[in-house]
Amino acid sequence: MAMELCNNGKFTTDPSADDIGRAFDGAPHPEGWYVILDDEDDGSNIEVTARPEGTYDVTADDGHREGHPDRPFTADQAKAALLKYSAREPGWREAFTWQSDSEDDEEEAKEQGALPKAKRSSEPPTWAVAVVIASFALVVLTGYVLSATDISLGDSDFFYVSLIFLPMAVLFVVAVIAKMLEVRRAARWSTAVGRIVKSGTAAAHRRSAGEATTVKTVPAVEYEFSVGGRTVRGNRIGIGGDSGGADTEATLRRYTVGAAVTVYYDPANPKDCVLERGVPEGIGKGLAIIAGFVIAVVGVVYWLATGAPRLVAQHYPHANVPVVIIAASMGMLMLLFFIASWLLSRRAADWPVVRGTVVSSGTEKIEKNSDGRRSVTHAPAIEYAYRVNDIDYVSRQVKLGANLSASESYAAGIASRYPKGAAIDVHYDPANPSNAALENPAGTRWFLLAIAAALFALAAHQAGAFS
């Protein structure tokens, strides 16, 4: 058994218990101090990194999975974990909570035709979370102060409108700053020559509160490189992450198994590594589009809150102004949805078809809470796999552009049409094969047009146009 101890860049081969103990002399250590003990025979290791408050983050890797303790360790706890691991005591794993996605789970998923689950991306910085939470707290506090005092802001509603959109703006700015700081930090990282050891796709599942689970195909690339005589394995492609989509195929063609690559890594923590450390291509254009959209939405909302009431009252003196504005706005929104759905449906009619396989079929309960009331609906949970240009994809979209959620019997009826293991026809977007569906419904979009017409009629009636 060949073990190696790395104490802040200083390596010791076959370390003794005294060597491990001496590594913790002077505890607590400054932030960024680290110790890594790894077994070169089986690829397992334990990594200890000092935190600002004097405790230690500890990560264990048994060669297949990562494990983390429930809370940061003290110096004595970290040293005890390393000593147990070094002595290969049977209970060394008990201090850690291990990931549920073992290689056995992945092999079982592959046998069923499904893609392995994507590994979770790194969490946002603590300061970023704190700033966003503070912005929400500021809105609540300001609203409370204004309602409890006689402070007057004149006749302008701009302050209130801007206050509502403040958390959205803060979230956007914080996300950009966090990524820019990460790019700047990565610019000082060291480089090493690595080798691609895995190149394929994985299924990224996501579920928001009150919504059905969605799944997206993302690139799953793993690579190995050597630092100080030990092998490090990484899986991050770029600073911004790789969200898949239309670039999935190009990414996998760029990183084929066996290819030599340049790896950028943090010398203080080589496991923090990427293949691309620059700003993602097209991010400037994307940020400009997002910013323009946000500005447009804020402008429209501001006009609806300030200019629209005067305009309606001027032309229709007896109108129910709030109802007219809300109904007309919702009608315009439904009309835009109809146009977008119609254009998408027309393009999808010419999409190519490939044979796929249903890997899971059932229903999913969706619970929503609104104004203290709880509602429960059910959605079909049909996951299917298909292959385009030698790339494996997975999707849960049944009807193109439609979220299906109703009674349990309705959801079960749809699921029964696609039993597990069934061969199916999958319609996919040739420009973005990860976007696929089993059906291209036509009735849904006309329903949107009918809703838009009804809302416009309600707005006209409340304005007095029919009297």
Q: Is the pTM of this model over 0.95?
A: no
Q: Taking 80 as the threshold, does the pLDDT of residue 271 lie above it?
A: yes
Last residue of a domain, one of 52, 75, 99: 99
Q: Are 194 and 131 within one domain?
A: yes
Largest CA distance in the chain: 94
**121 and 133, same domain (yes or no):** yes
d(CA 225, CA 205): 29
| Residue 163 and residue 269 share a domain | yes
Contacts of 166 (CB under 8 A, 6+ apart): 135, 138, 139
Q: Number of structural domains, the chain?
A: 4
Question: Whole domain around residue 125: which residue ranges?
Answer: 112-281
Does 400 fall in a domain? yes
Write the CB contacts of 144 (distance below 8 Å, at least 6 apart in sequence): none
Nearest Cα to Cα of residue 265 among 291, 239, 247: 239
**pLDDT over 90 (residue 306):** no
The CATH number of the domain holding residue 397 is 2.40.50
The fraction of the chain above a pLDDT of 90, given in percent, is 22
Domain annotation covers residue 192: yes
Cβ partners under 8 Å of residue 347, min gap 6: 429
Q: Are residues 136 and 90 in the same domain?
A: no
Highest-pLDDT range among 289-298, 355-364, 432-441: 355-364
Residues 138 and 195 in one domain: yes
* Domain final residue, candidates 71, 99, 127: 99
Specify if 42 maps to a domain.
Answer: yes
Judgement on whether residues 230 and 164 belong to the same structural domain of the protein: yes
Q: Which residues contact 431 (CB under 8 A, 6 or more apart)?
A: 246
Q: What is the mean pLDDT of residues 252-275?
A: 90
Mean pLDDT of 72-98: 89
What would the mean pLDDT of 405-428 be, rounded to a whole number? 90
Mean pLDDT of 54-68: 83
The two tokens of residue 141 are 């506090």
Please state the rounded mean pLDDT for residues 450-457. Answer: 91
Phi (first) and psi of residue 67, to 5 degrees: -130, 145
Q: How far apart are CA 280 and CA 367, in angstroms?
A: 37
pLDDT recorded at residue 164: 66
Q: Determine which of 73-82, 310-319, 453-462 has the lowest per-residue pLDDT on average.
A: 310-319
User: Is the same domain home to 21 and 82?
Assistant: yes
Task: Report strand pairing: 373-388 vs 353-370.
Answer: antiparallel
pLDDT at 465: 75
Domain co-membership, 191 together with 319: no
Return the higher-pLDDT residue of 465 and 379.
379
- 107 in a domain, yes or no? no
**In a shared domain, residues 117 and 205:** yes
Structural domain includes residue 178: yes
Could you tell me which residue, 348 or 356, shows the higher pLDDT? 356
pLDDT of residue 101: 47
Residues 454 and 371 in one domain: no
Lowest-pLDDT choice from 165-174, 299-308, 358-367, 373-382: 165-174
Helices 443-463 and 321-348: crossing angle in degrees, nearest 10, is 160
At 265 the pLDDT is: 92
Residue 128 counted as domain residue: yes
What confidence score (pLDDT) does residue 102 get? 44
What's the pLDDT score for residue 151?
59
Q: How confident is the model at residue 112 (pLDDT cuts 50, 70, 90)?
A: low
User: Is 22 a member of any domain?
Assistant: yes
* CA dist., res. 411 & res. 358, Å (int): 16
Same domain, 254 and 145: yes
The per-residue pLDDT for range 113-162, each reduced to its tens digit, is 566 666 555 556 677 777 778 877 777 777 667 666 665 554 555 555 56
| 106 domain residue, yes or no | no
Kindly state whether residues 206 and 246 are assigned to the same domain. yes
| Closest listed residue to residue 463, CA positions, set 317, 345, 271, 253 | 317
Query: Which has more confidence, 179 or 451?
Result: 451
> How are strands ordered across the β-sheet holding 3-7?
10-13, 3-7, 34-39, 44-50, 56-61, 66-68, 97-98
Q: Which two tokens stand for residue 278?
A: 């620059």
Report the interhelical angle of 321-348 vs 283-315 (nearest 10°). 140
Q: Are 437 and 399 in contact (CB under 8 A)?
A: yes
Q: Which of 281, 296, 316 is the last residue of a domain?
A: 281
Structure tokens, 282:
């097209």
